[in-house]
Structures are given as structure tokens and as C-alpha cells.
Amino acid sequence: MEVKSIGSFKELSKIFKIKEMGAIIGFVVIFIVFSILSPEFISWGNLLSTFTMAAELGIVAIGITMLMISGEFDLSVGSTFAVVPMVLALSINNKINPFLGFIFGIFLGAFIGYLNGIVTLKTEIPSFITTLGSMMFLRGILLAITGGFPIMLQEDIPFLKYFGGVCIGGLRYSGIWFIILAIIFAFILERTKFGNWTFATGGNLLASKALGINTNKVKLMNFIICSFMAGLAGITTFARFKIIDPTLGQGMELEAIASAVIGGTFLSGGYGSIIGTFLGAFMIGMVRSGLVLAGAPAYWYRAFIGIVLIIAAIINTKIRKKTAG
Amino acid sequence: MNNNLVEMKNIKKNFGKVQALRGVDFNIGRREIVGLLGDNGAGKSTLIKILVGYEKADEGEIYFEGKKVFFNSPKEAREMGIETVYQDLALVNLLPIWRNFFLGRELVKGAFLSIDEMKKITYEYLKEIGIFIRSPEETVFFLSGGERQAIAIARAMYFGAKLLILDEPTAALSVGETKKVLEHVMRVKEKGVSVIFITHNIYHVYEVADRLVILEKGVKVGDFKKEDVTPQEIMGMIARAAGVIV
Ligand SMILES: Nc1ncnc2c1ncn2[C@@H]1O[C@H](COP(=O)(O)OP(=O)(O)OP(=O)(O)O)[C@@H](O)[C@H]1O
Ligand SMILES: [Mg+2]
């Protein structure tokens, strides 16, 4: 009897060692709290629309998670999130083939990441600074080109449906993308060489170099992935609203980083999880819609996220002392 | 002459005004353990960094197995069978043992890592050479300094090193752990591998070394077969070269 209970205790502590445990606990707590505050919260309609909102943020957060694990940062994702669909919108409104505009936008997104990476790695300036610069630069360009006015899509473009349109019920295609991308990147991170090198590069740069890993290439790839994902997420938002405000995505970088940190990713690199980030982004979406349904003024949203972030970080620190030191 | 595994000839290296190496000749025979000694800043680390392609020499030549070589990166040296274990740079602490063991040389099936296979090999190889771990999934962070050194040495052996370079492998270890690492070094030699053992402490290397080389301020000031010299004499030489009167 006693032996059995020790055994099950071991099993239990094994479960608590899962990287994503902090995110799972937080997720359940927030879910329960808002379900109690407002019964409508657990309706399918609300959960699906919450998930859609989470998806647009979450796609950005997946990219930033990869980059953060490799030991770098990107503050420019919010600007990229607006620049890429802006390029698409301007192409369409100027009668350029929309598909070409799409390809060009996505390519531009990846190219922003390439530039962020090259500048950071060649000059050895911290990426916090280089991407702060590109964040301001891109936003400035955006405001200058649009004169600060929103741009409206003048044509109906059928293929955009597959980015931001409704799939079934309240579920939009962005949600599907979010799930697919999360699965793909979880596999890349945990089960490929590139993922292994991403962990190693962020965890111990010099050791990785000494073992022959091309750490600059690994980081550069992750810069590109991060901006690519931000651009793609921007397109899903644009496809939903058919209009772009030049301030779109402002502050998003911090929410994306918060999603990753809530999900267990280290700010210092070398540790993290895509599934955790998935839950982290979903959690932020739940807080947003939950507060609205509970009748709280919109201002409370930021304050609440701040608290969630700190509590999650505390839980994660405790867990990682058991799993990773 | 071509019996040597490595011959470094007239190696010079400056860092700005610092003459880190001023024309050093350094040889390693086959199945030989060479203790490389010298005070702080003597140039020991620089010499081996040049050997493995981490730094480029300003002048000099390197021969490996009788052939002239030039390594652009540690990766190239590694491919030729030269493995280096740096004291703090050996392992990634946040990763499990098995990921560290195969880092940079992962086994894959198609695009995906063969995780179970790598775990199995890690566990069994470590067991085979007398290193017992609880689980290959254990995070390196939780291992002792000696266990970490042992795993890094085992990794080098598994991947067929011909030359193993240990940069101060015992500097942060307890007496017991140092002894264990020395046992591993002896076992490495039994497998036919040569070893360069860098240390400040002659007593750590004397027991296992075949030859002792002393560097001081970028110059080789001594090169002895172990039989020809006592640890006290070596100590005196290092101290005198550093300007300490004994
Ligand atoms: N990358 C570098 N840039 C500038 N100077 C360097 C560099 N690497 C080494 N040096 C200098 O070269 C000299 C030799 O250094 P090295 O690290 O080879 O010494 P060492 O014998 O390994 O010393 P220790 O026992 O302290 O490890 C020192 O004066 C050091 O300051
Ligand atoms: Mg040194």
C-alpha cells in the first residue's frame, strides 16, 4: 500500500516536471475564473472567437519563441505585422496581381528578419537594440506612406478567405493556421537537428560553436522565421478586417513575448516550448474576452495581463528549478 | 619523426601588443599523454586553440599524422579526430545528457531525430566505460563537475577521437572527482588515443602523463619525459619562469 503511494507520488512529480506545467495550471485557473464570472464565457461562440484572437497573436508568438530560445529578441514584430499586409493591400489597390502581392509581402516579412539578423550578428549589437530600431523605422515608414490614415481593401479577394475568413461556426482559418503552425514548429523544435541547435545556441553559445554548430546561421534562420510568422499573422488580421490602420500591431511585441514567457520560455534563451506559447497566447485571448464578458472596462485588460505574466513567471521559475535549474 | 600524431612548428601569435606565442614547437606522439603546464597567461589555451582552428596562427605550421593541415574551424578539426573538452564550454547545461552527447552529430531518420536510439546509445556507452547515470534524460545542470567532464570525455571517445584535448579538466573538481577523471584519461589512452592535458597543477597530471611540456610567456621552457623529472622540479621551473624566487 505504502509502496504504491510512493510510486504514484513519483508519477505525479514526473507530471509536474513537464515544461508546460505552469502554462497548463494558469490556463485552467483562468478558464475557471472567467467561467464563474460569466456563464457566456464557455459558450462555443465565445471560445472560438477567443481562439481566433489568440491565433493572430499566437502565430507571432510562435516565431518569437523560436528566436528567444536561440538567444535573441525581436521587438519589431508588431511593425512587421502591419507592414506585410500593408504591402499586400497597396498591391491589390494598385491593381497588381493579388497573389503576387501576397508573395511579395511574405517575402518582405522574411527579408526584414534577415536584415534584423544580419545587422545584429555582424555588428554584435544586442538584438534588443537593432530590433527596437527596426520597429521604429518600419512604423515610421508606414505612417509616412499612409499619411496616418487607414487603408481599405477596394476589391474582394477570394483567397484571403483562407487566412482570416470563417471556417466553421465561429472558427476562422487563422485558428487553423495557428494549430498547424504550432504543431509544425513544436516538431521542428523538439525533433529536428535545427531545433536541437536552436536550444544549444541559446543555452551555451560558445559550447555550441566549439562543437561545430554554425550558431550565426541558426540565429539568422530564427530571425527570419520570427519575422515571417509576424507577417503571416498580420495577413490573417487583415483578411479578417479588410482594412489596415497604420498603428496596427503596436504593443504586440510585448504581448507576444508575454505569451512565450507565460508558456515557460526563458528570456535568457536556451529553454522554452511551442505548446507553452500556444497556451500562453490562448490565455491572453481568454483574459481579453473574459474581461469584456465580465463587464470590466477595457482598461483592465493590460493590468490583468501584467498580473498573469508575473504569476506565470513565478510558477515557471519554481518548476524550472526542478527540471532545468 | 613522422611517428608523431601532431607536430606544431614555430607557432607565433600576437593579440595586438601581447605576444601570446613566440615561436613554439609542440609535438604529441601516438598514444601519448602530454601534460601542458604553465602559469596564467602562458599561452597554453592559445596554443591548443590554434591547433583546433579556433584561432589562426600568425606564423608556423601544423602537421597531423604526417600531413600538413590547416583547420578553419573546430568543426574541421573534429572531423579529423581532434576533440577538445573546454572546462566551461563542454556541455549545454539546460539540455538533457543525450542531447549533449550527440550535439552537432545527431542521428536522424529522414528529417527527424532518432531520439530513442540516441538515448539508448548514450546510456549504454556511458555504462560501458564505467560512467553511471540515472537517466539519459537527466538535465546536465544537475550533474556534478566531475560527471560533466566524464560525459564530455566519453563523447569524444565515442566519436572516435585520435587526439583528446582537455583544457583544465580538473580545475574545479574535488579530490575524489579529479581521481575519477584521471581514471577516464588512462582509459582513453588504453583505447589508443593521445591526450593533451592542460593544467596549472602538476600533481593532477603527473600520475597519468608520459611527457610534460612547460610554457612561459609564450615560450616553451621545458619538455621532459616523466621519468626524467620530479613534480617538485617542474613546480620550481614554473615558479622561476614566472619570476618567483624559490
Ligand atoms: N582573444 C584574445 N585577445 C587578446 N588577448 C588574448 C586573447 N586570448 C589570449 N590572450 C592573451 O594571450 C596570452 C595567453 O593567453 P592564454 O589564454 O593562452 O593563457 P593560458 O596559458 O591558457 O592561461 P590560463 O592558465 O590563465 O588559462 C594572455 O596574455 C592573454 O591575455
Ligand atoms: Mg587557459
Residues of A with CB under 8 A from a CB of B: 187, 191-193, 196-197, 199-200, 203-204, 206-213, 270-271, 323-325
Residue B102 backbone phi and psi in degrees, to 5: -105, 10
Question: How far is the C-alpha of B234 from the C-alpha of A240, rounded, in Å?
Answer: 77
CA distance A145 to chain B (A): 43
Indicate if ligand 1 lies below 6 Å from the C-beta of B222: no
**Atom 25 of ligand 1 has which residue's CA nearest to it?**
B40
Q: Cα of B43 to ligand 2 centre, how many Å?
A: 7
**Confidence (pLDDT) at B130:** 82
CA distance B141 to chain A (A): 6
| Residue in A191, A212, A324 nearest the CB of B94 | A324
Task: Output B200 or A12, whichever has higher pLDDT.
Answer: B200
CATH 3.10.20.30 fits B4-241, yes or no: no
pLDDT(B154) > 70: yes
**Confidence (pLDDT) at A301:** 86
The mean pLDDT value for A88-117 works out to 96
What pLDDT band is residue A325 in, cutting at 50, 70 and 90? Answer: very low
Q: What integer best gives the mean pLDDT of chain A?
A: 90
Burial of B140 from C-beta contacts in 10 A (0-12 / 13-18 / 19+): buried
Q: Is A276 a domain residue?
A: yes
**Confidence (pLDDT) at A287:** 92
| A271 neighbourhood in chain B, CB within 8 Å | 94
Q: Does B107 touch chain A (CB under 8 A)?
A: no
Q: Which three cell numbers stand for residue A306?
A: 501584467
Question: How far is the C-alpha of A139 from the C-alpha of A239, rounded, in Å?
Answer: 20
pLDDT(A3) > 70: no
| A209 neighbourhood in chain B, CB within 8 Å | 74
**Confidence (pLDDT) at A10:** 54
**In 3D, which of B126, B214, B216, B204 has the Cα closest to residue B166?**
B204
User: Tens of pLDDT along A249-299?
Assistant: 999 999 999 999 999 999 889 999 999 999 999 999 999 999 989 888 878
Q: Is A130 a domain residue?
A: yes
Residue to mutate among A17, A198, A211, A322, with most B CBs inside 10 A, is A211
CA distance A226 to chain B (A): 21
Q: Does B139 touch chain A (CB under 8 A)?
A: yes
**Confidence (pLDDT) at A17:** 64
- Distance between the two ends of chain A, CA-based, in angstroms? 33
pLDDT(B166) > 70: yes
Domain assignments of chain B as residue spans, ordered by start? 4-241
pLDDT(B88) > 60: yes
What pLDDT band is residue A6 in, cutting at 50, 70 and 90? Answer: very low
Q: Is A15 a domain residue?
A: no
The position carrying cell 510510486 is A7
Question: How far is the C-alpha of B167 from the C-alpha of B199, rounded, in Å?
Answer: 7
Q: Is A2 a domain residue?
A: no
Q: Is A277 a domain residue?
A: yes
Q: Which three cell numbers stand for residue B242?
A: 614566472
**Confidence (pLDDT) at B75:** 85
Sign of the CA dihedral with B164 first, then B165, B170, and B172 last: negative
Question: How far is the C-alpha of A50 from the C-alpha of A14, rounded, in Å?
Answer: 31
Q: How many domains does chain A have?
A: 1
Question: How far is the C-alpha of B67 from the C-alpha of A142, rounded, in Å?
Answer: 59
Q: Which residue of B has its CA nearest to A268?
A: B94
Question: How far is the C-alpha of A73 from the C-alpha of A124, rounded, in Å?
Answer: 13
pLDDT(A14) > 60: no
Residue to mutate among B94, B118, B143, with most A CBs inside 10 A, is B94
Q: Cα of B216 to ligand 2 centre, how many Å?
A: 12
| Per-residue CA distances from A189 to A67, A68, A70, A173 (Å) | 11, 12, 11, 24
User: Tens of pLDDT along B138-148?
Assistant: 999 888 888 89
Task: Output A7 or A180, whichever has higher pLDDT.
Answer: A180
**Confidence (pLDDT) at B245:** 61
Indicate if ligand 1 lies below 6 Å from the C-beta of B43: yes
Task: Output B74 or A162, whichever has higher pLDDT.
Answer: A162
Would you give the DSSP letter of residue B94? Answer: T
User: Tens of pLDDT along A120-147?
Assistant: 999 999 999 999 999 999 999 999 999 9
**Confidence (pLDDT) at B86:** 81
What pLDDT band is residue A304 in, cutting at 50, 70 and 90? Answer: confident
Q: Which ligand is nearest to the CA of B18?
A: 1
Q: Is A11 a domain residue?
A: no
**Confidence (pLDDT) at A9:** 52
The mean pLDDT value for A93-114 works out to 96
Residue B46 CA: nearest ligand 1 atom is: 18
**Contact check, Cβ <8 Å, B86/A210:** yes
The mean pLDDT value for A224-239 works out to 97
Residue to mutate among A193, A213, A266, A267, with most B CBs inside 10 A, is A193
Give the CA angle between residues A104, A285, A13 to the nearest 5°: 110
**Atom 30 of ligand 1 has which residue's CA nearest to it?**
B41
ipTM of the complex: 0.86
Indicate if ligand 1 lies below 6 Å from the C-beta of B198: no
pLDDT(B202) > 60: yes
The mean pLDDT value for A166-186 works out to 93
Would you give the DSSP letter of residue B96? Answer: B
Per cent of chain A over pLDDT 90 is 72
Q: Which residue of A has its CA nearest to B110?
A: A192
| Residue in A191, A200, A324 nearest the CB of B103 | A200
**Contact check, Cβ <8 Å, A206/B89:** yes
The mean pLDDT value for B150-167 works out to 90
Per cent of chain B over pLDDT 90 is 61
Pocket test for ligand 1, best of B12, B39, B45, B215 (most atoms within 8 A of CB): B45
Residue A86: give the domain boundaries: 20-320
The CATH number of the domain where A191 resides is what? 1.10.3470
Question: How far is the C-alpha of A237 from the C-alpha of A163, rounded, in Å?
Answer: 8
Q: Is A25 a domain residue?
A: yes
Indicate if ligand 1 lies below 6 Å from the C-beta of B11: no
Assess contact for B146 and B180: CB atoms under 8 A: yes
CA distance A189 to chain B (A): 10
What pLDDT band is residue A4 in, cutting at 50, 70 and 90? Answer: very low
User: Tens of pLDDT along A145-175?
Assistant: 999 999 999 888 899 999 999 888 778 999 9
